[in-house]
Amino acid sequence: MNTREMFAKAIKGGYAIPAFNFNNMEQLQAIIKAAAETKSPVILQVSKGARNYANQTLLRYMAQGAVEYAKELGWEKPQIVLHLDHGDSFELCKSCVDFGFSSVMIDASSLPYEENIALTKKVVEYAHKYDVTVEAELGVLAGVEDEVSSAVSHYTKPEEVVDFATRTGCDSLAISIGTSHGAYKFTPEQCTRDPKTGKLVPPPLAFDVLDAVMEQLPGFPIVLHGSSSVPQEYVDMINSLGGKLPDAIGIPEEQLRQAAKSAVCKINIDSDSRLAFTAAVRKVLTEKPGEFDPRKYCGVARDFMEELYKHKIIDVLGSDGKAE
């Protein structure tokens, strides 16, 4: 399904839909098991890095298989979207529309404003012919995600959003309010340090910018990228088992919970599942150095990710039970 109805319900209901990236079978199984068990609508996202890693055709059929798998798990009417994350050209978005994706993102946020509008509008005109919904972006997120990167962030300018949404016809808008991609969302200089634990405490998200956007565009679906929380239990586990992730830090979950209650109706999470996967693999291989069957450590990684996804759905986004 596309995102239109899903988002309208999420805004009314004060929750957000999880948008989880996937690159491999274990991640997809974990997402579907978590969504089926909690009866949460879910968005499966395919990034450019995922396509390069796993192949677009394979990922598309895996997503199709996931719908059948969800039914096998007892979820009678799965609500699953297959979404292109960070599409960077009309041709790519078109190929995903033609190929059966139900939603695409055109990320032209690094282009000058008028060019962002022109490209987004072109994608919207094409996608809407096939009832595929389109996410666009205004403002720039810092950080690195697969092949999308920017050194600095620029908050979304609330005074531009009405003009942008009206002229492009986009269905949802990703905004920049201080989130960023990856496991290092803030530099130590941007944070304070908890004197007891020595851990970094990040600055709060710019909720004033979010409020101003919502005032300009009442009821319009807003998307937050870069919303991993970088759970410190995984970071500590990785670091204590030979890894090296100094000062990795994310967005506190209470702030995401607060955002999910507003018009923010899609929250993107990728890095957290990478951390869960890596922590699990390090744990198994440290405890059993003789293990060489990938199913033994990828299976544990899958369990870790499933727990993580369920926690996000139930405790952070509040989307459980919304796709009965």
Contact call for residues 93 and 143 (beta carbons, < 8 A): no
Tokens of 88: 């960077």
Exactly one of 27, 56, 268, 319 binds ligand 13P (CB under 6 A); that residue is: 268
Closest of 324, 320, 203, 317 to residue 262, by C-alpha: 317
Judged by CB under 6 A, how many residues of this single chain contact ligand 13P?
14
Exactly one of 27, 271, 278, 319 binds ligand 13P (CB under 6 A); that residue is: 271
By CB under 6 A, what part of segment 197-216 binds ligand 13P? none
Closest of 233, 254, 313 to residue 40, by C-alpha: 313
> Catalytic residue at 85?
yes
CA–CA gap between residue 290 and residue 293 (Å, rounded): 9
Burial 222-239 (b: 16+ CB within 10 A, else e): bbbbbbbbbbbebbebbb
Choose the stretch contacting ligand 13P; rule: CB under 6 A; options: 164-172, 190-198, 256-264, 265-273. 265-273
By CB under 6 A, what part of segment 8-67 binds ligand 13P? 21
Task: Say which of 85, 88, 171, 272 is annotated catalytic.
Answer: 85
Least distance between ligand 13P and beta carbon 270 (Å):
4
CA–CA gap between residue 157 and residue 176 (Å, rounded): 9
Choose the stretch contacting ligand 13P; rule: CB under 6 A; options: 96-104, 154-162, 208-216, 223-231. 223-231
How many alpha carbons lie under 13 Å from residue 250 in its C-beta half-sphere? 27
> 23 or 38: whose CB is closer to ligand 13P?
23
> 33 or 266: whose CB is closer to ligand 13P?
266
Sequence-distant (6+) residues with CB within 8 A of 211 are none
> Torsions phi, psi of 157, nearest 5?
-95, 110
> 40 or 284: whose CB is closer to ligand 13P?
40
> 35 or 248: whose CB is closer to ligand 13P?
248
Exactly one of 137, 171, 270, 306 binds ligand 13P (CB under 6 A); that residue is: 270
Least distance between ligand 13P and beta carbon 290 (Å):
33
Least distance between ligand 13P and beta carbon 45 (Å):
6
Tokens of 90: 């009309």
By CB under 6 A, what part of segment 79-118 binds ligand 13P? 85
Choose the stretch contacting ligand 13P; rule: CB under 6 A; options: 26-34, 76-84, 161-169, 267-275. 267-275
- 153-192 footprint of ligand 13P as x/- string (CB under 6 A): ----------------------------xx----------
Exactly one of 102, 103, 227, 319 binds ligand 13P (CB under 6 A); that residue is: 227
Q: Is 145 in the site for ligand 13P (CB under 6 A)?
A: yes
The residue to which tokens 């394979």 are assigned: 58
> 116 or 284: whose CB is closer to ligand 13P?
116
Q: Is 135 in the site for ligand 13P (CB under 6 A)?
A: no
> 172 or 268: whose CB is closer to ligand 13P?
268
| 207 to 89, 140, 156, 259: CA distances (angstroms) | 30, 16, 12, 8
> 284 or 301: whose CB is closer to ligand 13P?
301
Q: Indicate which residues carry an active-site annotation.
A: 85
Residues within the interface to ligand 13P (CB under 6 A)? 21, 85, 145, 181-182, 225-228, 268-272
